[in-house]
């Protein structure tokens, strides 16, 4: 059930949503970083949520600034246990 909820959210997700969230986290994204993050969320959300995202994160490490990448990892670690809240 939670997978369908996440899928619906991802389908509706916009770049503006990501940008707004980044501001709430005090992270400034470049246009390129915004495009990269949007693409990876849309294309690889199942792998990130359901399996081991290490290979995805390694790709992103080379494409994002250090600050953005570190914040992404921090947020992933903070929220990866979401299943316990459902």
For residues 2 and 29, give the distance between their C-alpha atoms in angstroms, rounded to a whole number. 29
Q: What percentage of the chain has pLDDT greater than the value 90? A: 76
pLDDT in tens, 16-53: 999 999 999 999 999 999 999 999 999 999 998 888 89
Contacts of 86 (CB under 8 A, 6+ apart): 1, 2
49-81 in b/e form (b: 16+ CB < 10 A) is beeebeebbeebeeebeeebbebbeeeeeeeee
pTM of this structure = 0.88
Report whether pLDDT(82) > 70. Answer: no
pLDDT reported for residue 49:
86
């Amino acid at each position: 059930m939670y997978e369908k909820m996440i899928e619906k959210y991802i389908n509706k997700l916009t770049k503006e949503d990501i940008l707004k969230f980044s501001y709430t986290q005090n992270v400034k994204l470049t246009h390129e970083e915004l495009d990269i993050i949007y693409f990876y969320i849309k294309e690889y959300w199942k792998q990130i949520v359901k399996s081991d995202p290490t290979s995805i994160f390694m790709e992103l490490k080379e494409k994002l600034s250090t600050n953005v990448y570190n914040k992404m990892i921090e947020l992933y670690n903070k929220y990866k246990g979401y299943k316990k809240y459902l």
